[in-house]
Amino acid sequence: MLKLLKDRKFPFLLASLLLLLSFDCLAYTQSRVLKGEDGKPVKIQGSVVMIEPNIELSEVLAGGVQEPREEWSKKARALYPRMVQEVLDEHHIERKPDLDLDENADPNAKIGQIARLNWAVSVSILQNTYNGAHLATKKARQLDWSLGTGVQEIQKRTGADYGLFTYIEDSYTSTGQAALRVLAFVLYGGADIGGGRQIGVTTLVDLRTGQVVWFNFIVKSTGDLRNEEGARTTAKVMLKGFPL
């Protein structure tokens, strides 16, 4: 994984956490698809390459602090792409070999720049298409963002027509935090001080034009990327609304 992305907390999640204050439900999904000239959602035509997913797992300790668990993260980074492959195979979508981001590569290298640009674009989409907040230039929260033709570097390297970018942050309640939640529930009449949460953003980019053709944002209070069943469930939710 590209070192710069690995070492930094997801900046877009900081904005996402503010949005979560208004979420009372157990799960939230925001999926958007680019519309063609005919006004209808586009459907992909071609092969897909999955860019190495940026996945970080952590444990919520008794004090509410999230402590990263690299062993969990490594397992999730291995499981999740396999589950995505299963979902895409069900729909007979051609998939090229995954593109790994070399953590030792020059941070100014082209692929690294594209990954960081997609990150920034994901932040912009999330901030400006969320219900109640959107750019005046983006009518009806339409998906109209582009990474530019620089993404053709990925197409040249992989032979794919589309690039699938993924960011997931998942946290799990420790025994101590679980005990505090139970105590708070008893003492404060059903109040929940909160625990683990799964947050994810994924984008599908046309590597021929740079156009973002699909975006999905999820928030879940359940899920476990440390096992196949949990990773499969998350993959299906993350790929909800995929432009088939």
Identify whether the C-beta of residue 5 lies closer than 8 Å to the C-beta of residue 101: yes
Tell me the mean pLDDT in the region 57-86.
87
Considering only residues 244 and 78, tell me which one the structure prediction assigns the higher pLDDT: 78
Q: How far is CA 217 from CA 92, 112, 187, 201, in A?
A: 24, 22, 34, 5
Q: In this predicted model, what pLDDT tens digit does every residue of 200-215 receive, in sequence order?
A: 999 999 999 999 999 9
For residue range 125-181, list pLDDT tens digits in order: 888 876 554 444 455 557 889 999 999 999 999 999 999 999 998 888 654 433 333
Where are the domains positioned within the chain?
Answer: 3-238
Cβ count within 10 A of residue 18 = 10
Predicted model pTM: 0.81
